[in-house]
């Protein structure tokens, strides 16, 4: 069942990556780079298993930080043409990278790196899936809201695909 969820989420992530590439209104190189990283991480995590899920999560977290840092967070003055201003789609992409990275680690199961968790960490680790499920549901809700507020068709499809991918991956936390 997990494999079927992962294939579905991978398909949605591929669709979302293509939408970012096609979206002329919002698709810029940093957003596309983050989308490609998420797609590569999902391919590796679901099929190839070359890189540890923890390393992919770290790469996705750093990519989210770099994406956020590459944009201005206040409106650019009218004379500042060419200045990249962060908008809701950039925030959605950055937060999606964080959620996807965390979901990949949890979906890998307890055997990340071949080590058993120390007994002191087992209690805290039990809270991680519940917190991640709450974050995933919040992200999916934000995706629905943002889909209704995005003007470009490719932007709407990309947001919906990313939200759907997170929602599919999060269902693995329920069972």
Does pLDDT of 103 surpass 80? yes
Q: Please give the torsion angle defined by the CA atoms of residues 137, 65, 105 and 123, in that order, rounded to the nearest 10 degrees.
A: -80
143 with 163: CB under 8 angstroms?
yes
pLDDT at 3: 80
pLDDT in tens, 38-76: 999 999 988 899 999 999 999 999 999 999 888 765 555
Q: Which two tokens stand for residue 20?
A: 């970012």
If one compares 158 and 74, the residue with the highest pLDDT of the two is 158
User: By residue range, what is the domain housing residue 7?
Assistant: 2-75+82-114+122-171
As a whole-number percent, the residues of the chain with pLDDT over 90 amount to 54
Q: In angstroms, rounded to a whole number, what is the distance separating the alpha carbons of residues 144 and 70?
A: 25
Q: Which two tokens stand for residue 115?
A: 């080590």
Integer-rounded Cα radius of gyration of the chain: 17
Q: Is 86 exposed, middle or buried (0-12, 13-18, 19+ CB in 10 A)?
A: middle
Q: Is 55 exposed, middle or buried (0-12, 13-18, 19+ CB in 10 A)?
A: middle
pLDDT in tens, 105-145: 888 865 444 445 555 556 666 788 889 999 999 999 999 99
- Is residue 25 helix, strand or coil? coil
Number of domains in the chain: 1
Question: Rounded to two decimals, what is the model's pTM?
Answer: 0.83
- Token pair 């759907």: residue: 164
């Amino acid at each position: 069942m997990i494999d079927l969820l992962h294939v579905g989420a991978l398909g949605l992530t591929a669709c979302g990556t293509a939408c970012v590439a096609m979206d002329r209104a919002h698709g810029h190189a940093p957003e596309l780079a983050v989308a490609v990283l998420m797609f590569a991480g999902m391919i590796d995590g679901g099929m190839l298993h070359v890189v540890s899920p923890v390393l992919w999560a770290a790469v996705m977290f750093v990519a989210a930080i770099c994406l956020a840092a590459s944009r201005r967070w206040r409106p650019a003055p009218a004379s500042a043409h060419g200045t990249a201003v962060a908008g809701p789609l950039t925030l959605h992409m950055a937060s999606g990278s964080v959620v996807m990275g965390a979901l990949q680690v949890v979906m890998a199961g307890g055997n990340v790196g071949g080590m058993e968790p120390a007994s002191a960490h087992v209690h805290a680790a039990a809270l991680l899936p519940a917190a991640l499920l709450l974050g995933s549901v919040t992200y999916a809700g934000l995706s629905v809201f943002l889909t209704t507020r995005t003007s470009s068709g490719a932007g709407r499809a990309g947001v919906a695909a990313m939200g759907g991918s997170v929602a599919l991956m999060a269902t693995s936390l329920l069972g």
